[in-house]
Structure 1
Amino acid sequence: MSITRLIIGAALLLSTTSWAADYKTVGAAPAVLYDAPSTKGVKLFIVPRGAPLEVVLTYGDWVKVRDMSGDLAWTPARGLSSRRNVIVRVPNVKVRTAEDDTSAVVFTADKGVLLELGEPGANGWVKVRHRDGLNGFVRSSDVWGL
Structure 2
Amino acid sequence: MWRRALVALSLIGVAGAALAIDYRSVSVPAAILYDAPSQAGKKLYLIKAQTPVEIVVRLDGWLKVRDAEGTLAWIEAKSLGDKRTLVVTAPRAEIRQSDKDEAAVLVELDKWVAVEFIEPASPGWAKVRHRDGATGYIRATQVWGL
Give the Å deviation of 1:95: 1.1
Stretches of structure 2 lacking an aligned partner (at least 5 in a row): 1-14
Question: Would you say the 8 A contact 2:28–2:48 is kept in 1?
Answer: no
Tell me the alpha carbon deviations over residues 63-87 of structure 1, each in whole angstroms, 9 at most, x when there is no partner. 0000111010101101100100000
Please show how residues 102-121 of structure 1 align to structure 2 within 5 Å: 102-121=102-121
Structure 1 residue 142 corresponds to structure 2 residue 142? yes
Aligned partners of 1:65 and 1:74 also within 8 Å: yes
RMSD: 1.5
Q: Residue 78 of structure 1: SS of its match in structure 2?
A: helix
Q: CA deviation at 1:91?
A: 1.6
Aligned to 2:86: 86
Q: Per-residue deviation at 1:107?
A: 1.1
Note closer, same or farther for the CA distance 1:17–1:72 as it changes in structure 2 (3 Å cut): farther
Q: Residue 99 of structure 2 corresponds to which residue in structure 1?
A: 99
SS of 2:18's partner is: coil
> What code does the residue aligned with 2:54 have?
E
**Matched residues in 2 for 1:75 and 1:59: separation?**
10
Contact 1:29 1:79 in 2 (8 A): no
For 1:35 and 1:119, locate their aligned partners in 2 and report how far apart those are by CA, in whole Å. 33
* Distance (whole Å) between structure 1 residues aligned to residue 82 and residue 96 of structure 2: 26
Unaligned runs of 5+ in 1: 1-14
Matched, 1:131 2:131: yes
Task: Count residues with an aligned counterpart.
Answer: 132
- Following the alignment from structure 1 to structure 2, what is the Cα–Cα distance between the partners of residues 16 and 139? 25
**Aligned-partner residue type, residue 24 of structure 1:** R
In the other structure, the counterpart of 2:72 is 72
Q: 1:90 to 1:16 in 2, by over 3 A?
A: closer
Equivalent AA in structure 2 for residue 118 of structure 1: I
Shift, 1:141, TM fit: 1.3
What amino acid is the match of 2:61?
D
**How far is the alpha carbon of 1:16 from its aligned partner?**
9.5
